[in-house]
Chains A and B, each alone.
Chain A
Amino acid sequence: MSNNAKGRPTFDKLPLLIVAVLVVMASLPRFCSVPSHLEGKLAPDVSIDIVANGGDLATPVALQALRGHVVVLAFWATWCPPCNTEAPILNRVWGRFRDRGLVMIGVSNDDSSDVIAPWAIDRGVTYPLAFDRGSVSRAYSVSALPTVVVISKEGNVLLAQTGMVSERTLSQLVEKNLRDY
C-alpha cells in the first residue's frame, strides 16, 4: 500500500537516533575504578562525620573548611587487616606533624559507627576517625582498602594511593607540603 511507503522514512531515522543517544552517553563522565586519576586535581569537597578522636574538629566537617591544612584521608575498615597494620604508621605520622598543621582523618568503611571508638582504643589510634555512609568513598573513587589520599594546603590531591602507604613516602610528602608555604 502506498501509505506504508509514506510511513517508512520516520523509521529510517531510528538508527541515527540510536547513534546520537550513544554518542551523548559516551560523553558522560565515567566512573573511574582507580582513585589515582584524582591526583593533581582539586579534591572533591565532602562532608565527613567525625565519630572518634575528634578533638577540636567540627562534625560534620566540610573538607572545604580545612583549606590551609595538609589533609590526609585514610580509608579503612576495622575488618581489614592491612588497614590495621597501616594504622600505627598513620598514627606516628600524625603524632609527628599534628602540631604543624596536619589534619588526618581515618574514614571508616564499616557497616556501623559503633565499632570505631573501641577499635581506636584497641589499636592505640589517636587521629580523628570518621564514619562514611559511602559518599566520601564514592567521591574519591575508593576501590579497595586501605586507600590514602593526601590533599595539599591549596586543596589539590597530591597522592591517592590504594594499598598500604609507607611511613617514609607519607612523611616526606607531608613534610614537603608543610614546608612549601
Chain B
Amino acid sequence: MISSLTGRSERRLALVIFLSALIPLAVSVSLGASLFRQASSIWFDPEVGEQLDRGVDVYKDYVRAVKDDMRHQADVIASDQALREAARRGNSELELTALESSFSAYPNLVALRVVSINGRTLASHDRGRRLDTNAEKSLEVRRPLGDAASSPILVATFAVDRKRFDELESAGNIVAKYHQLEASRNDLYQGFIRAFSVLIGLTLALTLPLGFVLARGVTRRVRRLASAIERVAAGDFSVRVPVTGSDELTELASAFNRMVDEMAGARARIEYLQRMGAWQEMAQRLAHEIKNPLTPIQLAVQQCHRKYNGDSEQFRALLDTTLEIVEEEVATLRRLVGTFSDFARMPHAEPQAADVAEFLREFREQFSHIEEALELGDGIDDVSGGIDIEWRIPDEVVSASIDRQMLRRVLVNLVRNAAQAIRSSPAKAGRIIISIAQTPTTCFVVVEDSGPGILESDRIKLFDPYFTTKSDGTGLGLAIAKKIVIEHGGEVEALGSSELGGAKFVIALPVT
C-alpha cells in the first residue's frame, strides 16, 4: 500500500533524513544510558552507603555517650553522702547546701531539685538562667536518694549544645534520602529512557514528513521530465517541460527542451526538404511538359499569319490579334517555365563559417545595386523613394555558418517583399528595419516593415511553394528562401512586427 502511494526515491530520501536524525539520537541514548549507569554505580556504591551509615552511627554513639555521661553525673550527685543524709532526715536546708556544693562541679547542669515521692519540691538550685530551647537540648535524670521506696528523688536537669543533635538529625536525613534515591534509581533510569523514546518518536514524526516533502519537490519534477520523455520517445515532439527552480534539474529541464526543439526542428526540416524535393521534381516535369509544345504553337501561328494572302481586312485583323496574344502568352509561359526550372535546378546551400554582421554590412554596400534589380513592379520609377531602410548591425562578430550567395538571395527576397508590401499599402511609403539579434545558440536576422502585415492564418502557408498573396507572384520566393535557410540548419518564421506594425521575418541561424 505504501509503495504504491509514494515514490521510491521519496521513501529513500525520507529514510536517509530519518536515519541521519536517528543515529546520533540512538548514540546519545546509549551514551547517556551508559553514563547514567556508570554515574549511578559510582554514586550508589554499596561502600558509600555503608560509610554514610557508619557516619550516622558514630553520631548516634556520640549522643549516647553524652547521655550516659549525664546519667553517670546524676548517679554521682545522687550518691553524695551529705545529700542522702539530708534527704533521709528530711532537712531542706542541708539538702540545699549539698545541692549547691555539687552544682559547681558539673558545668552541664541547669537545675538540681529534690522532690518528695508525692511530687513536692523539697529543695532546688539552678544555674540562674533559664534553659534556652533554641540553642540547648535538655535531659532530665531522676535518681532516688535512698533505698526505701518513699525516699525523695533527685531530679537533675542537664543542658547540651543543641547543634550536635541537629547535626545528627540532618546527617540522618541525608543518609535516609540517599537510601531513598538508591531505591528509586530504576525509576530515574526509566524516566530517562522514556524521555529519549519521546524524542525518537518526535524525530520520526518530523523527519519522515520532511523527507517526503523535500523529496517530492524533486521527484515531482523528475516525474514531469519522465512523462515528457515518454511522449517524446513515442514520437510526439509537442511537449516541453516547465523550467522551474535553479538547480541541476532546472538545467536538465532546459537541456531536455533544447533537445526536443532540435529533434522537432530536424524532423520539420527533413519533412520540408522532402516536400520541396517533390515540388522541385514536379516543377522540372511541368517545365519540360510546357516548354516542349510552346515552340510549335508559336511557329504554327506565325506561319498562319505570314502565309495568309486573302483580301479580307477583317480576317487580317483577327490574325494580327491572334499572333499578338499567342506570342505574349507564350512569352509568359516561357518565363514561368524558366522560373520553374530555376527552382528545380536550385543548388544546395554550402554554408561556411562567416561573420553575419560583416555579411550584412557588405549586403548594405551592395544594396544600391541590388535595388535596381528589385523589380518592384510597374509604375515605380524611384525604387527606394518613400521607403526608409534602417540597418541595425552590431559591431561585434556574429559567427555562423552561411552560404553568402544563397543568404543574399534570401535577404533580397525578404526586402523586396517588404518594399512591395509598403508600396501596396495606401500610404505607399514606410520603413524597413534590418537587424541582428543573438542568443548563445542562435543568431537572428530580422527583416520587418511597416506594410499591411500578414494575415495570421497565412503565416505558415506562406512558405509553401506556389502559395502567393500577390497577383503576379509565382509563390516560389519564400519557399526558396525557406529551403535555403533550412539548408543552413536554421528556421525562418513570419511574425507580426511590434515595432513597425507590419510583417516581421525572422531568420534563425545556429551560431558556430
Contact = CB atoms under 8 A, between A and B. Distances in A.
Given A25-B209, A124-B496, A144 B239 contact: yes
Interface string A53-86: 0000000000000000000000001011111010
Contacts of A80: 240, 257
A98 to B, nearest CB: 15
B227 A33 contact: yes
Q: Which of A3, A11, A23, A28 has the most CB of B within 10 A?
A: A3
Contacts of B194: 10
A181 interface: no
Contacts of A146: 238-240
Nearest to B498: A121
B504 A88 contact: no
A142 B457 CA distance: 28
B425 interface: no
Interface string A138-181: 00001111100000000000000011100000000000000000
B496 A17 contact: no
B236 interface: yes
A68 B242 CA distance: 30
Contact of A79 (B220, B237, B257, B497): B257
A10 B193 contact: yes
A10 B495 contact: no
B162 interface: no
B2 A142 contact: no
Interface in B209-242: 209, 212, 216, 220, 223-224, 226-228, 231, 236-242
A109 B212 CA distance: 26
B240 A83 contact: yes
A123 B459 CA distance: 10
Interface in A81-109: 81-83, 85, 88, 91-92, 109
B193 A17 contact: no
Given A18-B204, A26-B1, A134-B244, A33 B223 contact: yes
A79 B240 CA distance: 9
A23 B238 CA distance: 39
B456 A82 contact: no
Contact of B185 (A3, A7, A163): A3
Given A82-B237, A145-B240, A163-B238, A26 B5 contact: yes
A137 B238 contact: no
Contacts of A34: 227
A122 interface: yes
B197 A13 contact: yes
A118 to B, nearest CB: 5
Contacts of A83: 240
Contacts of A1: 37
B6 A124 contact: no
Task: Output the residue of A6, A25, A80, A92 with the most chain B CB within 10 A.
Answer: A25
Interface residues of B, number: 50
B186 interface: yes
A109 B250 CA distance: 14
B135 to A, nearest CB: 46
A17 B190 contact: no
A6 B189 CA distance: 9
Contact of B208 (A2, A22, A79, A145): A22
A10 B33 CA distance: 14
Given A7-B189, A82-B240, A14 B197 contact: yes
A122 B498 contact: yes
A91 B496 CA distance: 14
Nearest to B495: A122
Contact of A26 (B2, B37, B226): B2
Given A33-B224, A82-B239, A163-B239, A3 B189 contact: yes
A165 B220 CA distance: 24
Contact of A77 (B5, B201, B242): B242
Given A14-B200, A26-B2, A82-B240, A88 B459 contact: yes
Contacts of A81: 240, 261, 264-265
Contacts of A18: 204
A88 B494 CA distance: 13
6 smallest beta-carbon distances between A and B, as pairs: A121-B498, A124-B456, A33-B223, A7-B193, A144-B239, A143-B224
Given A2-B186, A31-B216, 17 more contacts: A3-B185, A3-B186, A7-B193, A14-B197, A22-B208, A23-B2, A30-B5, A77-B242, A88-B459, A91-B456, A92-B457, A111-B243, A122-B497, A123-B495, A124-B495, A143-B224, A144-B242
19 contacts: A2-B186, A3-B186, A6-B189, A6-B190, A7-B189, A14-B197, A14-B204, A22-B208, A26-B6, A31-B216, A31-B220, A34-B227, A77-B240, A81-B261, A88-B457, A111-B243, A123-B495, A145-B242, A162-B231
Interface of A: 1-3, 6-7, 10-11, 13-14, 17-18, 21-23, 25-28, 30-31, 33-34, 77, 79-83, 85, 88, 91-92, 109, 111, 118, 121-124, 134, 137, 142-146, 162-164
